Each structure stands twice: as structure tokens, then as C-alpha cells.
Structure 1
Amino acid sequence: MHSPAAHDRDAEHLGRPVQGWRLRLYTVIFEADTRAGHAFDLTLIAMIVLSVAVVVADSIASVHARHGALLGVLEWGFTIAFTVEYVARLACVRRPWLYARSAFGVIDLLAILPSYLVFFFPGANALIDVRVLRLLRIFRLLKLGHYVHEFRALGMALAASRRKILVFLSFVMLVVLVMGTLMYVVEGPDNGFTSIPVGVYWAITTMTTVGFGDVVPKTDLGRVIASMMMLLGWGTLAVPTGIVSAEFTAARVGERPTTRTCHECLSEGHLPTARYCRDCGAPLPAYRRDPDIV
């Protein structure tokens, strides 16, 4: 076990605040297993959902005509609040550039940047459509991954199964390429299959059980192939679900990860008993948790 002095030396080496208001602010913002951190996370979740609701409501012409001014004030209020949060995150870490380059840092920046771009470039239609900047505010939903354990669990399950899913998608692409080419040969341009890409498009819509019906086989052999593709699609859709479900099950068998953050690489989700970061190997800070926070 590390002594308190050794722990402080590790913290200084890793660049995290050792004491003072920055350490207290860091504990509230980044480590949610305390009463203050839990309240901060719940407040941010509510603000994220409400801000996205404002953006969605403002996109409705009738609502914008009647309540546009109010929605604009609310939008700027949320933007200022998220800006303060982003600045606070940068201020309470000793390596702000490392956080700014992380995935969550980029998401936090995307959540506030469009509002300021619209403010500074109100007539920037030639540079970028203002409506696109407004829609980019929906990226605030991605901030929920900061605060909801289930989002982190989903991300970890997808990351753990990415190689299996990649192999599965490679197999699917091989199947649709072969079947699309086969349908192009069987049906031909007279029946709408004017090229191999059109055949591949038909194979994708058929395997995914979408079936737009804009391109359909007319010959008996083509219908047999289409029937096989439809049946294959049912089994195909179940494969990625099973892969991700298996990763979820494996994750639930072990201990539940915490919000404790590595001060070297800023990765989180470490187990309560972990002493070193699973990503970079740096020593982790002591696990702090209020007993009434679940």
C-alpha cells in the first residue's frame, strides 16, 4: 500500500491537484461517488436533456414563431452554463490540454461551439449553414456518457466487441457483394438491376429486412435468391445483438466500475479495488465514496 506521502508524490507526478479548491472541484466534477458529485451529475443530466428539448422545439416553425425569443434566452442560458462547466473542467486538472483532446473534451466543446459560431457569424451562410450549427447542439446528448453508468457500460461493451463486430460486418459485406452480383447476372438491366452496385444495394435492403421495393426480382430464380436473402437476414440481425449481450454479461459478472478517473490519461471506469490504471498503468488515486450514494 502507498503511504500518504507516496500517494501525494504520485499525484504531483501525474499532474492532478493535490489540495485546495482545484482538488475539491475536481472531486465534484470528475468523481461522482460523493454526495456533491452525485448532485452535480444529476443537475447536468437535467440541463442536457432540457437544452436538447429547447433545440428540438425551436426547430418547429409554429413554436419558433410564438416562443422564439424565450427559447433563444434559454438556449443562451444553457450555453453559458455549459461553457462554465467546460472551463471548470479545464481549470481543475493540471493537464488541461490532455482533457481538451480527449473524446469527452471534444464533445464538451462541440456542445457549446455552435452557439458562439452563430453569434459571431450570423450571416455566414456562404461559410456554413447556420441550421447545421444549430443541429450540432444535439451533440450535447453525448455528454450523458459522462454521468450515466449505463452509457459507459454500453460504450465499454461495444469497445470490447469491436473486433468481433468488424469480422461480422466483413462477412456481411462479402455476402451482399456476392448476392448482389448474382442478382445482376440473373435479373439484368431489364428488371432494374442496371449494375452491380444496384444489386448490392438490393442485397443490403433485403438482408436487413427493410425491402423498399424500388428494385425487385422478376424471374423465378431471382425470387428464390431473394427468399434466401430474407431468411438469412433474420439470422444475421441476431449476431451483433448476441455479441454485445455477451460482453454485457461478462461485465456484470465482475465488480461494478466506479467513476474514479486516472489523472495521467483521464480514462475512467476502474474497479473499486484497482490500484493502477487499466489503460496506461499509472497509479490511481484513493477511491473516495459516500456510503449513501449507489
Structure 2
Amino acid sequence: MESGLKPASVGLRTRLFQIIFESDTPLAKGFDIALITAILISVMVVILDSVTDLHLRFGSFFYYLDWALTLLFTVEIALRIYCLERPWLYLKSFYGIVDIIAVLPTWLALLFPGIQILVLVRMLRILRIFRVLGLFTFVGEAQLLLDALKRSLRQMLLFFCSIFMLVTLFASLMFLIESPASGFTSIPISIYWAIVSLTTVGYGDIVPATPLGQAITVVLMLIGYSIIAVPTGVFSAQVIRSIREERYSDEACPGCGHDRHEKKARYCMQCGTWLDETTEDPHEPQ
């Protein structure tokens, strides 16, 4: 159940609330499964309708199916608002905003045909699966990644700044060496070439023609291979650190001084001493 949301009153609204916002009854689970199915079908309609051949053959079918799903989602949102004691808490929540945005473009496209591009926002409907599956309940795993990202932010920023300076130097050098006929018409274009070469993508749209330029390109590619693992290593180290802090305690054993015990551990893995100094060892003879 989403935080802070309560049913409006006893009776039909409470029953609807249990079905829509909870998943502990067969009917509620059936509602979740039906909602997941409808969301996946809706997203698939948007994806398939973007294919020209399928749009030409099944465009009308996709159109009416999308409207049927939009009406279904609109009724669902109306029921969510109806069964809540304080609907504005739902409307201003993350999921409420996603729900509204997921159906609003289709209605706006009906009122204002010139903004058909907004229909692509329907892809946000796939975010609603997070609500049904409760993926955000795995907050521990998600928090580990967020903590690792925060801790590695400075190192990553320093790394990218260094890469940008390296790319700019190589790009400026190639701009001086190569001619505009080879595609190096400006330093920004040369920076684009340097990034493509450093990441070893190699689109081939801009290629050095001189032996010196080709030699510099080889050096830049080798540098790219040598540093490509740096951000991965930095982030991985922080993930491991977060896992250790989540799993292990820094408190030292009062008997031997060994630390890095698991937080749930009660006895030292080295000497067997009772770790919790605030309570007595239940197995120690009185």
C-alpha cells in the first residue's frame, strides 16, 4: 500500500481501496495482473504503431485499441480518486503524476490534433508497472546503488573532466593537422571525432587522411581501451563498499579486537566472544 493513503469510508470505498491499492486478496491480485496486462498491451501498441508497415495495415486497430485502454486507465484513475480519503495525496505523489501523464496526452491529442507528438508520452505507462510489482520495495538494493553513485560522484566528475581535456587537446591537434576535406572543419567537429575514437566506436564519418593523423588516432584509441574500465572500477569499488557497510559492523570484538563482523552476528568469528556488550550472553553459565 502506498504511504499515507487511506480509504474514504467503510463500505464500497473501502472494498475498492483493498482491491486497487492492496495485493493481499485473490481479487486484488487479479486486479494487479489485469492492470499489468493492460499496461504491457498499451506500451506494445505504441511500439508497433511506430513501425510504418504495421501502422499502414493496422493503424485503425491500434487507434481504437489505444482509446479503449485509455478509457480503461481513466476509469481506473477515477476509482482510485473515489476510494481515497484524501485524493490530493495520491494526485501529488509520484505514482499519481505518472498515472495522470500516462492518459493525458491521448485526451489532449483528441482536443488538439496538432500535438500528436504528445501521444509518445504514453510510454510512461510502463512506469506504472513499478507500482503493481512493488519493485520499489527493494529499496535496500536500490539504496546500495544510489549510495555507491553518490560516493563515486567526485571521482567520476574528475575522471570526465580529465577525459574532456584530453579529448579537447587531441581534437585541436587533429584540427591543425588534417584538412577540412577530411571532415575536420572545426574544433567542435574534431571533438566529436575524438570522442568517437576514444570510445572505440568508430563511425567512420570523419577519417584522418594523413599518416600523422592516423598515428594520433591509433594512440587515442589505445588510450580509450586503457581507460574504459576506470569508471566501472570506481563504481564497482563503491558498490562493494556499500555492501560491506550494509552487511558488516565496524564494532570490534571485546575479546580479540577483530572487526568486520556481520551485523546479525552475536559471537566473534575468531574467538567466539559474545559481541553485544549491552546484554549478557544467554549461554554463559550463571
Give the number of the structure whose alpha-carbon radius of gyration is greater.
2
Secondary structure (helix, strand or coil) at the match of 1:140 reads: helix
For the 8 Å contact 1:207–1:229, the answer to whether it is kept is yes
Give the drift of 1:42.
Answer: 1.4
Give the drift of 1:239.
Answer: 4.6
Cα distance in 2 for residues equivalent to 1:242 and 1:46: 39
| Cα gap change, 1:70 to 1:241, in 2 (>3 Å) | farther
With a CA cutoff of 8 Å and minimum separation of 6, indicate the structure with the bigger relative contact order.
1
| Cα gap change, 1:135 to 1:47, in 2 (>3 Å) | same
For the 8 Å contact 1:209–1:233, the answer to whether it is kept is no
For the 8 Å contact 1:58–1:68, the answer to whether it is kept is yes
Does residue 16 (structure 1) correspond to residue 6 (structure 2)? The answer is: yes
Task: Give, as a single letter, the amino acid of the residue that structure 1 aligns with 2:30.
Answer: A
Give the drift of 1:119.
Answer: 1.1
Does residue 64 (structure 1) correspond to residue 55 (structure 2)? The answer is: yes
Does residue 233 (structure 1) correspond to residue 220 (structure 2)? The answer is: no
Aligned length: 234
- Counting only pairs closer than 5 Å after superposition, residues 109-128 of structure 1 correspond to structure 2 as 109-122=100-113, 124=114, 128=115
Give the drift of 1:108.
Answer: 0.8
Q: CA RMSD in A?
A: 3.4
Does residue 52 (structure 1) correspond to residue 50 (structure 2)? The answer is: no
| Range 41-50 or range 200-209, more displaced | 200-209
Give the drift of 1:116.
Answer: 0.5
Cα distance in 2 for residues equivalent to 1:238 and 1:170: 14
Cα distance in 2 for residues equivalent to 1:41 and 1:71: 23
Give the drift of 1:243.
Answer: 5.3
* Partner in structure 1 of residue 118 of structure 2: 133
| Cα gap change, 1:23 to 1:42, in 2 (>3 Å) | same
Cα distance in 2 for residues equivalent to 1:109 and 1:208: 40
Secondary structure (helix, strand or coil) at the match of 1:188 reads: helix
| Cα gap change, 1:224 to 1:65, in 2 (>3 Å) | closer
Secondary structure (helix, strand or coil) at the match of 2:229 reads: helix
Secondary structure (helix, strand or coil) at the match of 1:170 reads: helix
| Cα gap change, 1:186 to 1:146, in 2 (>3 Å) | same
> Which of 65, 77, 94 is matched with 1:103 structurally?
94
Cα distance in 1 for residues equivalent to 2:48 and 2:174: 48
| Cα gap change, 1:113 to 1:210, in 2 (>3 Å) | same
> Which of 31, 34, 39 is matched with 2:22 structurally?
31
* Partner in structure 1 of residue 272 of structure 2: none
Identity rate, percent: 32
Q: Per-residue CA shift, 1:148-183, capped at 9, x if unaligned?
A: 244654755554444135435413421221211221
Give the drift of 1:216.
Answer: 5.3
Structure-2-length-normalised TM-score: 0.67
* Partner in structure 1 of residue 129 of structure 2: 144
* Partner in structure 2 of residue 223 of structure 1: 218
Task: Give, as a single letter, the amino acid of the residue that structure 1 aligns with 2:150.
Answer: R
Structure-1-length-normalised TM-score: 0.66
Q: Per-residue CA shift, 1:185-217, capped at 9, x if unaligned?
A: 43234432832x445434543454433233456
Give the drift of 1:47.
Answer: 0.6
| Range 36-45 or range 201-210, more displaced | 201-210
Return 5+ residue gaps in structure 2 as ranges.
Answer: 179-183, 248-286
Cα distance in 2 for residues equivalent to 1:243 and 1:35: 42
Cα distance in 1 for residues equivalent to 2:54 and 2:26: 38
- Counting only pairs closer than 5 Å after superposition, residues 182-193 of structure 1 correspond to structure 2 as 182-191=169-178, 192=184
Does residue 194 (structure 1) correspond to residue 186 (structure 2)? The answer is: yes
